[in-house]
Amino acid sequence: MSQSQDFIYLSPPHMGGQEQRYVQEAFDQNWITTAGANVDGFETELAQYLQAPAAAALSSGTAALHLALLALGVGSGDEVFCSTFTFVASANPILYVGATPVFIDSEPNTWNLCPLTLEKALIDRKQKGKLPKALMLVHLYGMPAKMREIVEITQHYGVPIIEDTAEALGSRFHGQLLGTFGAIGAFSFNGNKIITTSGGGALISADNQLVKKAKWLAQQAKDDKPFYHHSTVGFNYGLSNISAGIGRGQLQVLEERIEQRRAIFNNYKNLLQNIEEIEWHEEPKGFFSNRWLSCFTTKKGSKISPEDLRLALLKENIEVRRLWQPMHRQPLFQGAESFGGEVSEDLFARGLCLPSGSALSLTDQERIADVISKAFLA
Ligand SMILES: Cc1ncc(COP(=O)(O)O)c(C=O)c1O
């Protein structure tokens, strides 16, 4: 291991400069709680950015997905279709509400949910007489899913979409921001995301009532009475006013962060253009990724596996990650039904995410590309 070289993290936070000012204001006003001017400001500014009527600021992206399911009335006895190729946080909330996940495979271009497999699964359920209560649709690594087909199919069957946009804030499909296609869009501001609140999340909807309901559930579902009165299970899922202050500063630099991450992806491509075994995660025409993480797969039959690369990079103090292991392969979801699965399994076998933090220097990008080149050319 090269002890002298600094460790390069996969996707560390990158402050813009104004965050501490908002945090200081919260201290000055003594609003050290889950309400205050930063929570209100963050919700308004996020909704403005997304051109949504309202947003609810929450303690995590996972909480946002959980509340999205509840706001849509998903519960025990319901099925929820879910992208199999994702992080477990997309699927766990389906279990929280007592529903049953049914996993849908990816298609190989965007790596996201395959519209053809989705249609097959919906036809199957229609024939069996019960449609899923919702579709948990994930946009991985910033890449938009094939929204035209997916929206058309789900509208045809009347199944609402929850867009898990945790990794894709600022990404666009033919100019429209992700998170605004579904009944509800959910976001994460975890420390590794394109912008962060240290930990946090949010949800938006074109239907103000859904946002109101989610916020109400996030604040212990107190009934409208002058005393504590509860008729529904509630949660404590509000975002802290301190964290929201960080988020307000971060929102100001979001577009810059997207440009920086996109430049990193292009630079990796350029630096590694001679390595024929690498296939980059390319945007189809009209798809605009925030490039949260720069990812590639190795060509089928490549002598070098993603695990070989991961170990070679780790030896040089560089953190990389394998692509997500699909949900239908997880022991947690053993026995769950899955439509297809081969595409996501293949992506898992061949894919890697490179360090993509927006403050990553050109020298570090070269250092990373160098290790990769050497591994392939050895
Ligand atoms: C696809 C996806 N969904 C959901 C989440 C959950 O977000 P959080 O960590 O804020 O709970 C994450 C990230 O952590 C994610 O990558």
Q: Say yes or no: 245 and 263 in one domain.
A: no
* pLDDT, mean of residues 2-19: 89
Q: Say yes or no: 181 and 192 in one domain.
A: yes
State how far the Cα of 367 lies from the Cα of 361, in Å rounded to an integer: 10
Q: Say yes or no: 222 and 144 in one domain.
A: yes
* pLDDT, mean of residues 250-273: 98
Q: Say yes or no: 106 and 25 in one domain.
A: yes
* pLDDT, mean of residues 222-237: 97
Q: What is the CA radius of gyration of the chain?
A: 21
Task: Dihedral sign for Cα 114, 119, 120, 125, please.
Answer: positive
* pLDDT, mean of residues 23-31: 98
Task: Tell me how far the alpha carbon of residue 376 lies from the centroid of ligand 1, in angstroms.
Answer: 32
Q: What's the confidence (pLDDT) of residue 3?
A: 52
Q: Say yes or no: 237 and 269 in one domain.
A: no
3-state secondary structure the chain: CCCCCCCECCCCCCCCCCHHHHHHHHHHHCCCCCCCHHHHHHHHHHHHHHCCCEEEEECCHHHHHHHHHHHCCCCCCCEEEEECCCCHHHHHHHHHCCCEEEEECECCCCCCECHHHHHHHHHHHHHHCCCCCEEEEECHHHCCCCHHHHHHHHHHHCCCEEEECCCCCCCEECCEECCCCCCEEEEECECCCCCCCECCEEEEECCHHHHHHHHHHHECCCCCCCCCCCCCCCCECECCHHHHHHHHHHHCCHHHHHHHHHHHHHHHHHHCCCCCCEEECCCCCCEECCCCCEEEEECCCCCCCHHHHHHHHHHCCECCEECCCCHHHCHHHCCCCEECCHHHHHHHHHEEEECCCCCCCHHHHHHHHHHHHHHHHC
136-153 burial: b if 16+ Cβ within 10 Å, else e: bbbbbbbbbbbbebbbeb
Is the predicted pLDDT of residue 100 greater than 70, yes or no?
A: yes
Question: Residue 109, Cβ neighbours under 10 Å: how many?
Answer: 14
Q: What's the confidence (pLDDT) of residue 378?
A: 84
pLDDT grade, residue 5 (50/70/90)?
confident
Which atom of ligand 1 is closest in space to residue 201's alpha carbon?
10
Q: Say yes or no: 190 and 293 in one domain.
A: no
Asked whether 138 lines ligand 1 (CB < 6 A), one says yes
55-89 residue pLDDT tens: 999 999 999 999 999 999 999 999 999 999 999 99
164-175 residue pLDDT tens: 999 999 999 999
Query: Looking at the domain assignment, is residue 49 inside a domain?
Result: yes
Q: What's the confidence (pLDDT) of residue 102?
A: 99
**Number of structural domains in the chain:** 2
Cβ contact 114:91 at 8 Å: no
Query: Looking at the domain assignment, is residue 8 inside a domain?
Result: no
Asked whether 164 lines ligand 1 (CB < 6 A), one says yes
Containing domain of residue 274, as a range? Answer: 254-377
Of 205, 223, 251, the one marking the end of a domain is: 251
Task: Tell me how far the alpha carbon of residue 192 lies from the centroid of ligand 1, in angstroms.
Answer: 10
Is the predicted pLDDT of residue 186 greater than 70, yes or no?
A: yes
Query: Looking at the domain assignment, is residue 366 inside a domain?
Result: yes
Query: Looking at the domain assignment, is residue 14 inside a domain?
Result: no
3-state secondary structure 200-214: CEEEEECCHHHHHHH
291-320 residue pLDDT tens: 999 999 999 999 999 999 999 999 999 999
Asked whether 167 lines ligand 1 (CB < 6 A), one says yes
Is the predicted pLDDT of residue 369 greater than 90, yes or no?
A: yes
Q: Which of 83, 106, 188 to mutate to test the pocket of ligand 1 (most atoms within 8 A of CB)?
A: 188
Q: Is 86 exposed, middle or buried (0-12, 13-18, 19+ CB in 10 A)?
A: buried
Is the predicted pLDDT of residue 159 greater than 80, yes or no?
A: yes
Q: What's the confidence (pLDDT) of residue 92?
A: 98
Q: Say yes or no: 241 and 260 in one domain.
A: no
The whole-chain average pLDDT of the chain stands at: 97
Q: Is 271 exposed, middle or buried (0-12, 13-18, 19+ CB in 10 A)?
A: middle
245-259 residue pLDDT tens: 999 999 999 999 999
Task: Tell me how far the alpha carbon of residue 163 lies from the centroid of ligand 1, in angstroms.
Answer: 12
Q: What's the confidence (pLDDT) of residue 85?
A: 98
Q: Which of 86, 167, 198 to mutate to test the pocket of ligand 1 (most atoms within 8 A of CB)?
A: 167
Task: Tell me how far the alpha carbon of residue 86 lies from the centroid of ligand 1, in angstroms.
Answer: 9
Q: What's the confidence (pLDDT) of residue 1?
A: 47
Asked whether 60 lines ligand 1 (CB < 6 A), one says yes
Query: Looking at the domain assignment, is residue 4 inside a domain?
Result: no
Is the predicted pLDDT of residue 38 greater than 60, yes or no?
A: yes
Q: Say yes or no: 228 and 286 in one domain.
A: no
Asked whether 166 lines ligand 1 (CB < 6 A), one says yes
What separation in angstroms does the CA of 375 have from each of 10, 125, 178, 354?
19, 47, 36, 15
Query: Looking at the domain assignment, is residue 3 inside a domain?
Result: no
Which atom of ligand 1 is closest in space to residue 164's alpha carbon?
3
Task: Tell me how far the alpha carbon of residue 305 lies from the centroid of ligand 1, in angstroms.
Answer: 26
Is the predicted pLDDT of residue 2 greater than 70, yes or no?
A: no
Query: Looking at the domain assignment, is residue 173 inside a domain?
Result: yes
Which atom of ligand 1 is closest in space to residue 200's alpha carbon?
10
- Rounded to the nearest angstrom, the gap between the alpha carbon of residue 163 and the centroid of all alpha carbons in its chain is 9
